[in-house]
């Protein structure tokens, strides 16, 4: 089984903020297979099980706040006995232009508190990363305000197109790739 973790903050007030682009992607994947979310309180996560190309995939949205995401990821990896090579973390990234992405193994947190939490909680976990660009704010807005700023339905729709046309094929490629 593969684990795809969308990073974000739980709650209605964060739902349409840039910081929740990881949640948006796993929501898109669950919706595309008409799968419902299940609240796993003991693991501090919402989960949904899907199949992509015959591969079992556990989607998750940690129900901790971003800076405590590592607790939920640790609980899921341990409970489902998921190999670290089978973990993909999806995050927002201000260092990438809006609606672009990078898919790669490992790397430093670069100030992303969700990634910092996962790396602190699971220091030996060499996981795949999918960084989705949200761009930087124009001055004088602070980065923290930018990531928590709500987006328009049109902007969110543009991300759905990115997920469907560009990111989903990359996830399928990762799922099909033999582990080394």
Query: Catalytic residues, which ones?
Result: 19
Omega into 140 within 30° of 0, i.e. cis?
yes
Residue partners of 98: CB distance under 8 A and separation at least 6: 133, 134, 135
> Angle 122-41-29 (CA atoms, 0-180°, nearest 5)?
75
Question: How far is residue 84's CA from residue 160's CA, in Å, rounded to a whole number?
Answer: 27
Q: Is 46 helix (H, G, I), strand (E, B) or coil?
A: strand
d(CA 171, CA 51): 12
Could you tell me which of 72, 87, 78 has the C-alpha nearest to residue 130? Answer: 87
**Could you tell me if 125 and 76 are in contact, meaning their C-beta atoms sit under 8 angstroms apart?**
no
The answer to whether 98 and 72 have CB atoms below 8 angstroms apart is: no
């Amino acid at each position: 089984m593969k684990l795809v973790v969308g990073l974000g903050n739980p709650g209605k007030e964060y739902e349409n903020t840039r910081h929740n682009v990881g949640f948006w992607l796993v929501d898109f994947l669950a919706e595309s297979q008409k799968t419902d979310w299940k609240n796993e309180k003991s693991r501090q996560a919402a989960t949904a099980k899907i199949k992509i190309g015959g591969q079992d995939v556990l989607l998750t949205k940690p129900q901790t706040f971003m800076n405590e995401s590592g607790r939920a990821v640790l609980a899921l990896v341990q409970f489902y006995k998921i190999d670290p090579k089978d973990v993909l973390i999806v995050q927002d990234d201000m260092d990438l232009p809006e609606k672009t992405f990078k898919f790669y193994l490992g790397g430093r947190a670069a100030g992303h508190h969700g990634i910092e939490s996962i790396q602190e909680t699971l220091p030996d976990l060499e996981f795949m990363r999918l960084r989705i660009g949200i761009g930087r704010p124009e001055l004088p807005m602070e980065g923290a305000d930018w990531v928590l700023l709500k987006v328009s339905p049109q902007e969110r729709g543009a991300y759905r197109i990115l997920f469907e046309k560009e990111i989903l094929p990359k996830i399928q490629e990762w799922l099909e790739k033999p582990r080394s």
